[in-house]
Structures are given as C-alpha cells and as structure tokens.
Amino acid sequence: MRELEGAEATASAAGRLRSLLGLATRLGSIREPETLIRSVARELSALLPFDYLSLFLQDVVKDGPAWYVLDVENRSILSPASAIPPEGSVSRWVFESQLTYSVPPAEGARRFPSLEEGLSRFDIRSFVAVPLATVHRRLGTLAIACHRPDAYPAAERDLFTLAADQVALAIDDAANFERLKDARARLIESNESLRLVLEVGRRILSNLDLESLLRSIAASVRTSLRCDAASIVLTGKDRTTARVFVLDFPESRGFAREGSEVAVTAELEDLLRSGKPREFGTGDSAGPAWEVARREGITAGHAFPLVSGGRTLGVFVLSRRGETPFGAHEIELLAQISGQVATALDNALAYREIAELKDRLAEEKLYLEDEIRSELNFDTIIGRSAALRRALYAVETVAPTDSTVLIHGETGSGKELIARAIHDLSTRRTKTFVKLSCAAIPAGLLESELFGHQKGAFTGAVADRVGRFELAGGGTVFLDEVGEIPLPLQPKLLRVLQEREFERIGSSRTLRTDARLIAATNRDLSAMVAEQQFRADLFYRLNVFPIHVPPLRERPEDIPLLVRHFVQQFSRRMKKKVDTIPVEMMTALARYDWPGNIRELQNLVERAMILTSGTVLRVPLEGLDLPGHSAAAPSGGSRNLREAERAHILAVLAETKWVLAGPNGAAARLGMNRSTLQFRLKRLGIARPGTV
C-alpha cells in the first residue's frame, strides 16, 4: 500500500510539473484580457484549488490599468465594484512591493484588516496574491481565493509563484508582440527582423533543451542580421573563467572553437557587472579572447550581457569581419533578443535542474523499492551479549560524527545492520541510506554504480544515470565488501573521501558530494595492503573508526533471543502458531559453530518453520556439525551454553507470567514436564521474583 501511495504521489507530482512547464506555451498566443483570465483559471485548476481568481494588469492593455475577477463556480467575469473592493489595494501593494501576501498572513501581521473582513462576507477562508513580473518589467498581480481554510501552505504558495512566473512570461510575450507591431512603422526594420524576434520567441516556448535551443537562436540571429559569427559565452560559478557554450561561425579559420575556456578579464568582468551592452573593435585592449578574434579576421562586434533574475549568466556576442557597423535598430533588436535569450537560458537551466531532480527522484524511488524488497527480515539488532554491547557502544560513539567508519566482520554477522544503526543515530537520519555490495557488481560497471554516467559514455549507456554518491546527497553511502573494489577504481574513491568531488563517466563536469561513507569488509585489508592488493592510503582513509562485529559463535547467549525473534516473524508471515521451542533443541543450537552466522541461523529457522506442523518448533538438526557433550569442552563455552539455556527459560517464564503447568504453561512451551522444568530452575539458580 505504501509503494502504491508513493507511486501515485510521484505520478501526481509529475503531472503538476508537466502542467507548470507547459503553462507559458499554452498561454503565449492569447491577447484578449478576459480570454486570458479564463485560460489562466483553466490552466491553474490542474495545479491549485481556488474559487476566485483575480488578474490586475498595469500598462498592458491600451486603455490603462485593468482589473478582472473570475467567479469559478459561475464562470463569470465580475467587475471590481461587485467583487471584493479591499482586494484592489492589496493588488496595488503586491504590485509595488513585489512581495507575496496571503490570508491568513504568512508573517502573522494583519496588513489589510479590511481585506479579511471583505473576504469573510464572501465566506473566503484562504487567499494569496503574488506579483506578475519578468526580468524587464512589472506587469501586475495574480491572486486566488478559496472557501476552504488553510488551502495555501508554504509549498502551495511556492508552486503558485512559479506558475505566476509562467503567466507573466505569456503576458509579457503578448505585450512584446503588441509593442513590436506598433514599432514597425517607426523603425527601419524589415519583416525579416520581426520574423526573427517571433522565431526566437517560438523557439524559446517550444524548446527547453539548453544546447539545441541556444544553437538554433545563434544561427537564426547570425543569418538574419548578416553577421559572420554568433556566440553565447557562459560564465562559471566562480566568475573566474567562461566557456564558449555555443559558436555559430560557418567560415571560421579554426582559431575560435566551441567548448573552449577563456579567462574572465577585467573588461569582461566590468561588462558582466554593468549588465549593459558594449561595442568592441580593434581599439580594445589586447587579450586572449581578442587575439583569437583578430586571427579570425573579426574587426567589430557587440556584446550583450545575458541578465535574468538579477544575475548575469553570460554574454551574447555578434561580430563581423567587414567594416559594416551595427545600426541603431539592429542594436535595439539585439538587446531585445538578448533579453529573450537570457530568459530562455534561465528557464532552460531551471528545466535542466528540474529534470535532474525528477530523474534523481525516480532513481531514488526505484532504489527504495529495491531496498524494501531486499531488506533483512529483522528491524532491530537482537542480543544482550557483552561482545555485541561493545560493538553497539562503538556505534553510539561514532554515529553523531561525520567520520568514515570501517566495519569488520564475517559474512552474515550483521554488518549492514550496524551501518544502518550508525545512520539512524546520526544527524543524517532524515536523508537517504544508500547501499551497494561491491562484490555483487561486475568490475566494469562498478564505477558507473558509484559515480554515474552520461548518455553515450559507453555501449549500453542509453540514458544518464545517477551514481550512489550523488543519490545519497546529504545521507549515507554504505559500501559492503569494499575489499572487492578493483585497484584502478580505488584512487577515485579516495578522491571522493578527501576532496568530496567526482565526475560521472563521460562527463567533464565536476560534482560535489557531502555523503558520509560507511564501509564493510570480511577480508583482512591490512594484509591486502601488504600484498599490494589494496591501496594503503585508501585503507588508512577508510579505517578512521573501525568497528568489529562479533560472529555468532562468540555470542551464543544471544541465540535464544534470535531464534525466538525469527520464529515470531515467520509465524506472522506463514500464518502459523508456534509457541514452543524445546530447551534441548535450543541448547543444541547454542553449541553449533554457525559458520554462516546470523544469516545461517535465520535460514535454519525458516526451514524449521516450513517443516513444523504443530505448535512445537521442530528444528532439522541433521547436517549441523554439533559437538558432543564432552568434558573437554572449554569452560567458557560451557558457561555460555548455560547462560543461553538460562536466558531462554527466563524469556518463556516471563511470557507465561511464571505459570509452570497447564497447556499454555512454561513447561509445555519448553517441551518438558513440570518436574523437569522445576529441576532445571533449581540447577540454573532461577527463582521467581519476590521469593527467597
């Protein structure tokens, strides 16, 4: 049921994402305000609940400001006077302050008490208004109201803000279209220039793939304005370098290359900081970028900063080899197109981030589903032995830190449970716990599993893949059987531990991770280092805090607890009632060496549950190499067996509330007579609490 609910939530989120991404495209061709508000209401109904929707537009329609209110239930457009008069002042305040306002107020302050009174008259319990604006201008205010209380928590308000940005783009696109039509008579601009703007706008609305979008825009602008070269240069996050992301230069001499990096000079930094277009030519100061342009025969050009959301993303550069300068109308046109390119770039980057997050959520969903299927059959660590308590004390000690942990232990001893306990006791417990068995993955695919790969990186890489370190994102990565990692891959793992960075296979983009690493092994890594089968520096980096998980043969007093736990678990799963475990059988299990540790015990109990037809557990002891009752048995082993038998009997006595006889008494559950049980109690020194 939980998996079904998760799948439905993922499908719902994906549907809302598709509605949000296509909002501007579907509204882009609408010009008439009343038609626009009806279309906005229809589109937003797939994202948010509301009973009223209002649209306040400033300087968009020709006759000045306009205000429209839609009654969703009656599908009618209301005039401001017949609607909610105080809402007008809120719209003006949101328009001028560019802040969101909601009822109940998010900040707890009542800025417009009269608005709340007006809303109450219409039985409206929830209201939120957000500004409509682009990077170039303020357009108005969009508001929704609902009869249902608390309809717009913070997450819904954020979604409404994103939708309003898409509506603003559509309105701004309509306004730009109208302005361009009115300016045709005044500008010495051909129909080709107008078609260019429309073509750029069409490409922006129809293409969210960043590289193909910018490449098509650069080619269209270069051809229409008869330039020799068009390039889009994107700056890095540190603003010290920039990369020629797209270059459209059909007659290049080979000096300018797409993908090349250039240093951000003082002139370029000044251009990025100012955010204003700038002309360049032969009189500019020398530099690597201009030296390349000179070799290509470029004599003049214009650079237009790409500014969106108050941040400069890069530069749009148009250049020519001849002496023909750029006219005023061309510069104005290019400035307008650059604004559209900046918006498109910002949208494409946001789309890429959303797509990556969506892919990551899908990967995480599949991973968690796989985790549910493959998780061990017990939830907690069972046992009270001194050896186990020492290991758990170490877990409690290291869990609050972010230190790397190396867990030693035999196969089947519960190393993954120890790793999960460290994660659950750490500050990362709300994040993802990602596990990977290094021995279960072929050596050729292990790097892809750890760090991910790009589409086309190798044969069979048909799509991008998120690696485990990227998937863990703030959580914990558990690498089981870390000694099986091939030597050529070990330096990359060491880099993740030391530098916290890596690259996907087939990508030059460096990714950072803050995941904590917990490793486990059943091999002697120090011996492997001596034999040059494991890197010493990686071993020392992994072995910051070692934890030894004791094998089951060192904690026989925990065997009764584990057996009873597994019996209860399999009883629920197989719908059987097994409440009696003979003490002789439990003693025999405590004498066994358990080379397969807890996993072997679990499998044996499952087999016993399958074979048991009554209420008394019948364990198939054949095939187990059980030692005899010899006097040569080590005293420590005899003491452990005695403690195991004593713990088992005490547990049964607690369950039966010290009732010895009867069909549900302790003697029946232990598979012995009452007199035999009394003798065992005396021999083991067990007395009922409160008696002497």
pLDDT tens figures, 417-428: 999 999 989 999
- The last residue of one of the domains, among 138, 157, 179, is 179
Q: HSE (CB half, 13 Å, CA atoms) of 558?
A: 21
Greatest mean pLDDT among 101-110, 175-184, 195-204, 584-593: 584-593
Which CATH number characterizes residue 671's domain? 1.10.8.60
Closest CA to 516 of 490, 537, 538, 542: 542
Distance CA 50, CA 41 (A): 9
The secondary structure of 234-267 as a DSSP string is: EE-TTSSEEEEEEEE-TT--SSS-TT-EEE--HH
- pLDDT in the model for residue 607: 87
pLDDT digits (tens, 9 = 90+) for 345-372: 777 677 667 766 666 665 555 555 444 4
- pLDDT of 496 strictly over 70: yes
Q: Do residues 515 and 474 make contact, with C-beta atoms less than 8 angstroms apart?
A: yes
User: From the DSSP assignment, how many helices (H) and strands (E) are in the chain?
Assistant: 24, 21
- pLDDT in the model for residue 289: 64
Residues 561 and 546 in one domain: no
Burial (CB count <10 Å: 0-12, 13-18, 19+), residue 136: middle
Q: How many domains does the chain have?
A: 4
- pLDDT in the model for residue 169: 80
- pLDDT in the model for residue 632: 33
Residues 665 and 522 in one domain: no
Distance CA 265, CA 184 (A): 39
Is 394 domain-assigned?
A: yes
Which CATH number characterizes residue 196's domain? 3.30.450.40
- pLDDT in the model for residue 355: 65
Confidence bin at 400 (pLDDT 50/70/90): very high
- pLDDT in the model for residue 666: 77
- pLDDT in the model for residue 543: 92
Q: Which amino acid is at 394?
A: A
Residues 53 and 166 in one domain: yes
Joined tokens for residue 21: 């991404």
As a whole number, the mean pLDDT across the chain is 76
- pLDDT in the model for residue 482: 92
Is 215 domain-assigned?
A: yes
Residues 559 and 628 in one domain: yes
- Spatial neighbors of 421 by CB under 8 A, at least 6 apart, are 381, 392, 395, 399
Is 494 domain-assigned?
A: yes
- pLDDT in the model for residue 372: 42
Residues 150 and 247 in one domain: no
Residues 381 and 465 in one domain: yes
For 156-172, give one letter per residue: b (16+ CB within 10 A) or e: beebbeebbbbbbbbbb
Is 163 domain-assigned?
A: yes
- The last residue of one of the domains, among 521, 550, 579, is 550
- pLDDT in the model for residue 373: 39
pLDDT digits (tens, 9 = 90+) for 150-178: 888 888 888 888 888 888 887 777 777 66
Residue numbers of the domain that contains 545: 375-550
Residues 63 and 41 in one domain: yes
- pLDDT in the model for residue 636: 46
Residues 226 and 127 in one domain: no
- pLDDT of 64 strictly over 50: no
- pLDDT of 84 strictly over 60: no
Residues 400 and 517 in one domain: yes
- Spatial neighbors of 168 by CB under 8 A, at least 6 apart, are 132, 133, 134, 139
Distance CA 341, CA 231 (A): 12
Is 484 domain-assigned?
A: yes
Averaged pLDDT for residues 21-44: 71
- 81-95, 375-389, 538-552: which has the minimum mean pLDDT? 81-95
Is 357 domain-assigned?
A: no
Averaged pLDDT for residues 92-108: 81
Residues 172 and 258 in one domain: no
Residues 399 and 524 in one domain: yes
- pLDDT of 282 strictly over 90: no
- The last residue of one of the domains, among 532, 550, 568, is 550
**Percentage of residues of the chain with pLDDT beyond 70:** 73
328-374 and 191-206 are packed helices; what angle lies between their axes, rounded to 10 degrees?
Answer: 10
Q: Do residues 521 and 483 make contact, with C-beta atoms less than 8 angstroms apart?
A: yes
Instruction: Give SS3 for 689.
Output: coil
Joined tokens for residue 211: 């590289």
- pLDDT in the model for residue 366: 53
Is 365 domain-assigned?
A: no
Is 184 domain-assigned?
A: no
Joined tokens for residue 608: 């016993």
